[in-house]
Amino acid sequence: MMSYELIKKLRPALFKRHCGVKPETFQKMVALVSDSIQKNQIKSGRPPKLSIEDQVLMTLEYWREYRTYFHIGNAWQIHESSVCRIIKRVEDILVKSKAFSLPGKKVLKESNYEIEVIVVDVTEIAIGRPKKSKDVITAEKRSVTH
């Protein structure tokens, strides 16, 4: 199981390589999720198996690696329904906060990269094939048997 306790010891460059965000951004995410959960927390039920840091890390791994809930659940040793519930909750909190966003279209358009698009026509076309006749088949069979 890859927990936050193991990841936090990495250098910032390796941390970003693993999670997709800088350690400072990760800490901001954790603080935001923690505050939101504490505000809305109801004191009933079983306490969560994963810490807030691990929940955010699991969500980032889901976004970065596109693994299924089943595979993430096996890695974190929890059921896939718990993985789904945790990821949805963390996603909702982060999206509603609007503290984190991707660059807009204008920033992407101003890049120095030239985009090349290749269009390939792969539509299916009916091919006229010769129709089979009984004469051809029987003539072939006769010549094979001799």
The pLDDT value recorded for residue 49 is 86
pLDDT, tens digit (0-9, with 9 covering 90-100), for 5-21:
788 888 989 988 888 88
**Is the Cβ–Cβ distance between 100 and 25 less than 8 Å?**
yes
- Higher model confidence: residue 116 or residue 93? 93
The pLDDT value recorded for residue 123 is 78
Q: Which two tokens stand for residue 104?
A: 């807009």
pTM for the model stands at: 0.66
pLDDT, tens digit (0-9, with 9 covering 90-100), for 92-112:
898 888 887 766 666 656 667
The pLDDT value recorded for residue 122 is 76
pLDDT, tens digit (0-9, with 9 covering 90-100), for 27-84:
999 999 988 888 877 666 777 888 999 999 999 999 888 899 999 999 999 999 999 9
The pLDDT value recorded for residue 27 is 92
The pLDDT value recorded for residue 133 is 67
* Residue 1 pLDDT greater than 70, yes or no: no
